[in-house]
Homo-oligomer: A and B are copies of this chain.
Amino acid sequence: MVLTIYAPLFASSKRAVVTLIEKGLEFETVNVDLLKGEQKNPEYIAIQPFGKIPVLVDGDYKIFESRAIMRYIAEKYRSQGPDLLGKTVEERGQVEQWLDVEATSYHPPLLALTLNIVFAPLMGLVADEKVIKESEEKLGEVLDVYEAQLSKNEYLAGDFVSLADLAHLPFTEYLVGPIGKANMIKDRKHVSAWWDKISNRPAWKEVSEKFALPI
């Protein structure tokens, strides 16, 4: 079966891409240019009705939502590469817990920072300074909880790397890079060590190099 991932250059999609690479899977890519609004084209809406990225096509099977794609790949190819879901129901519960923390607490303020600081200037929009300030505060509070968790465990869900860690990679790369707030990571000792560990994984280095957004 051919695996095809849509919009691999953009951050949400890279959650799926890094999972494919961790599992040693071959895949094809189709570019979708969000800066040109291509995700709202009728041909794309026929594949992803919400006009969001990414989509994974696996033969005649199709799945969207980046974290759902991660889970699908990790479960379908569980026996090859690292087991990214934990080994027991209890471990998987912790993976799910931190995946949901990423989706509902970590990602929203970081997305707001990304849109206002990185993408607004590219699209001729004015950044909202109030949103930037509030988002940085919210993200800081979340990172304080991460610091406590990572002082007790090597990775978020326990002493094993999992989807919960990988889900943080693409947008945190914006945070320490073009957003210009690397101090939010570096000033927290255990978060910083965790970031160094996950961002230096060969799979993520490959994503960063092969799928850099040309901006």
CB within 8 Å of B: which residues of A?
Answer: 49-50, 52, 61, 63-68, 71-72, 75-76, 89-90, 92-94, 96-97, 99-101, 103-105, 108, 142, 145, 148-149
Contacts and interface: CB of A to CB of B under 8 A. Distances in A.
B61 A90 contact: yes
The copy count of this chain in the complex is: 2
Contacts of A89: 72, 75-76
A92 B71 CA distance: 9
A96 B68 contact: yes
A214 to B, nearest CB: 27
Given A89-B76, A93-B71, A65 B100 contact: yes
A49 B49 CA distance: 36
Nearest to A64: B97
B63 A97 contact: yes
Contacts of A67: 96, 100
A149 B63 contact: no
A101 B64 CA distance: 9
Given A63-B93, A97-B63, A49 B149 contact: yes
A93 B72 contact: yes
A212 to B, nearest CB: 25
Nearest to A141: B50
Nearest to A108: B108
Contact of A50 (B49, B52, B92, B142): B142
Contacts of A99: 68
A120 B77 CA distance: 47
Contacts of A52: 105
A16 B82 CA distance: 30
